[in-house]
Every structure is written in C-alpha cells, then in structure tokens.
C-alpha cells in the first residue's frame, strides 16, 4: 500500500529494533529490515487486556525440575484464540510458572511478539520463525482454504524447530481452551509411542481417503497390521526425540509429495499424519479433545458437547467462538469460551 504513514513506520522500526535485540538469530539483519519494511503488517492487531500473574503453589516444590513445553502457532488471524488458550492453561495449572510456550509464526512480526509480551508479561515463551518455503510446493489444495495455510503444516516440523533440550511437547491448535491442569496431559505414559492423542475408533476411517487410495492394491495395504483410527492433530503429545530418531518428518513429507502426484485424500495436514501414525499412537482419554465445536462446513451449524467429563474444549471446524460471539449469533458452547477472552473491545474501554 502506498499510504505508509511515518508514525507507523517509526513505531514498526522501534518494534523491529526491540525484536532484533530480543530475538535476533544469526541471519542477516539487513535482509530482515528490508523484508519487514516492504511488507508492513496488513492488519491492525486487536488490543488485549493484561492477564494476571499466575504463581506456583508450594506443592510445585523443586525436588524434580521439569518444564511443560507447549507449542502453538501464532497468527494474527487467530491471535484472540491463542490468547484465550494460553490464559486457560495458566488459570488451570497447578504449577503455571512451569509452562514454557513455543510459538511458531510465519513472519518475524514484532507486533505479534509485543502483543504476547504485553498481554502475558510473566509468560515464559520463545518465538520461532517457521519458513513457509519448507512446505512450498508440498501443499495440495484441500476442501477448505484455511487448511492450506503453510503454518498449518508447521506441526510436522516441530522436532526440527524446537531446541534439543525439549524432549516432549504438547502441540495445540489456537481454537481451544484447556479447563484442567495441562500437566495431567503432559504426564501421559506414552509407552513406546512417538505420539499420544485421543483416538476415535468409531469414526469411519474409510472416509479420510478416496477411492483412488482404497482401490489401489498397494496403497490400500498401507494400514495392514494396524488398527487405524482417526485422531485430531490439533491436540497431540509428541516425543520429540523419538520423532527425530524415527525420521517422522520425512515420512509425513513423503505422503504429501505422493498426494501431489496422485490425489488420495481431500483434507489438509491430517491425512498424511494418519497415513504414518494411525493405529500406532498412545490413546489419551477423550476428555482431552472435545473437538468439532466449531461445527462443520455449513455456516451457522452448532454442535453440542459429547458426553463425559471435559478437560479441553476445541472449536475445530469452520465456526470460531470469537466470530460467532461478535456477530451476536453464538452457539451455546461458545459461552464456555467467552470467560477466557482477553480481547479489549471498545465497549470494555467505556466500561473501564
């Protein structure tokens, strides 16, 4: 855009400088500066309230030092969801100070960094730039454009991106809230598995792949010797070392490359995960992913909760609670998300 106001560019430069001081890696500063100035952030980020400082209780002790590592993507479009998810985890943790967040973002966007910093001044977090070139040319068009964003594929590269001292990580989508101590999910006994997640063996697994897949004599044997079940890739515990040692990134990428040659599924990053891991994961209690609350691909369709206790609510699907609340047409379940919303609307400004 031509109208690039001086005040904005000065603010951006100051933001950029602090970003570089805080987070600069070894790459050339000059390149980063020119990139950011030529591609100014196209949208104004929303303003959020500051979250309180959540402190460890005495029971957190110091006998066995460990941190709980949480990885999420960071994207201006989902920022409100990310903020709510982080708040929900801090609020329900027995040892909130032991949470370390690892945010993967597509651009080195200093505004996103300062937004997290000002909303959670006490948060232990690191930002990683996910280079979308890594998946360029590997993404096949799916049924929903939102699924085709390169950042959606970043979860495949967690083991490469995270520092070596991170042995286990919980990967979470940005459209969810955790209403239980996330430490319980962290503590899952993974036995020999590389991945743990709730799995759904009643879902019709056939539907995740097309006829070209099932009618091919070789391809259809992919799941031979396993009992493959659907799992949602928005909530996963990953043994990062096992993932690295087993070369799982390459395995998932190979299926993505295959899909480019011969279309065998319609969804985005889920099917290649299923191809590699379905039937070989540690099943976690369903309470850790009440998924589908966003409804399906039809606008305005609300979903109810599944029966049973709930530790995590997930608005997977097309509808997002913050959009439906703003449009004043919320689903009943959206009121469960609202208490974690840190968005400071103009109305709240006046009430303050």
Q: Does 204 help bind ligand NAG (rule: CB under 6 A)?
A: yes
Q: Does 66 help bind ligand NAG (rule: CB under 6 A)?
A: yes
CB of 22 to ligand NAG, least distance (A): 14
CB of 9 to ligand NAG, least distance (A): 33
Comparing CA positions, the residue from 167, 187, 175 lying closest to residue 93 is 187
Q: Distance (Å, rounded) from C-alpha 14 to C-alpha 37?
A: 12
Closer to ligand NAG at the Cβ: 4 or 66? 66
Out of 18, 41, 100, 254, the residue judged to bind ligand NAG by CB under 6 A: 100
Out of 76, 95, 105, 276, the residue judged to bind ligand NAG by CB under 6 A: 95
Closer to ligand NAG at the Cβ: 124 or 254? 124
Q: Looking at 29-37, 62-70, 74-82, 324-332, which segment touches ligand NAG (CB under 6 A)?
A: 62-70
Q: Does 124 help bind ligand NAG (rule: CB under 6 A)?
A: yes
Closer to ligand NAG at the Cβ: 57 or 309? 57
Give me the DSSP letters along 166-228. Answer: --EEEEE-SSEEE-S-HHHHHT---TT-SEEE-EETTS-GGGGS-HHHHTSTTGGGTTTTS--
Contact 179, 311 (CB under 8 A): yes
Q: Distance (Å, rounded) from C-alpha 347 to C-alpha 325?
A: 14
Closer to ligand NAG at the Cβ: 35 or 220? 220
Out of 13, 17, 33, 60, the residue judged to bind ligand NAG by CB under 6 A: 60
The one-character DSSP state at 343 is B
Out of 10, 207, 212, 257, the residue judged to bind ligand NAG by CB under 6 A: 207
CB of 82 to ligand NAG, least distance (A): 18
Chain residues binding ligand NAG by CB under 6 A are 60-62, 64-67, 95, 98, 100, 124, 204, 206-207
């Amino acid at each position: 855009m031509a109208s690039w106001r001086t005040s904005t560019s000065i603010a951006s430069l100051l933001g950029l400088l602090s970003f570089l001081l805080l987070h600069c890696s070894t790459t050339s500063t000059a390149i980063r500066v020119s990139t950011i100035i030529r591609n100014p952030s196209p949208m104004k980020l929303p303003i959020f309230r500051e979250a309180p400082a959540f402190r460890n209780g005495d029971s957190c002790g110091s006998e066995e030092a460990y941190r709980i590592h949480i990885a999420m993507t960071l994207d201006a479009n989902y920022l409100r969801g990310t903020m709510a998810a982080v708040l929900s985890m801090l609020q329900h943790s027995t040892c909130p100070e032991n949470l370390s967040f690892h945010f993967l973002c597509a651009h080195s966007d200093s505004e996103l960094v300062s937004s997290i910093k000002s909303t959670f001044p006490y948060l232990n977090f690191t930002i990683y730039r996910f280079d979308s070139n890594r998946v360029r040319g590997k993404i096949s068009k799916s049924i929903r454009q939102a699924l085709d964003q390169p950042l959606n594929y970043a979860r495949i590269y967690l083991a490469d991106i995270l520092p070596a001292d991170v042995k286990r990580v919980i990967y979470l989508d940005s459209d969810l809230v955790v209403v239980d101590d996330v430490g319980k999910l962290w503590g899952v006994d993974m036995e020999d598995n590389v991945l743990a997640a709730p799995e759904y063996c009643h879902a019709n697994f056939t539907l995740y792949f097309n006829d070209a897949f099932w009618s091919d004599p070789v391809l259809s044997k992919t799941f031979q010797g396993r009992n493959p079940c659907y799992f949602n890739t928005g909530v996963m515990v990953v043994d990062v070392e096992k993932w690295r040692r087993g070369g799982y990134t390459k395995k998932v990428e190979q299926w993505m490359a295959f899909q480019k040659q011969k279309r065998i599924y319609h969804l985005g990053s889920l099917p290649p995960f299923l191809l590699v891991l379905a039937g070989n994961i540690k099943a976690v209690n369903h309470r850790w992913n009440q998924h589908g609350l966003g409804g399906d691909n039809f606008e305005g369709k609300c979903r109810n909760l599944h029966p049973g206790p709930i530790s995590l609510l997930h608005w997977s699907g097309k509808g997002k609670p913050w959009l439906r609340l703003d449009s004043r047409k919320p689903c009943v379940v959206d009121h469960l998300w609202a208490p974690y919303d840190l968005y400071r609307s103009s109305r709240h400004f006046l009430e303050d």
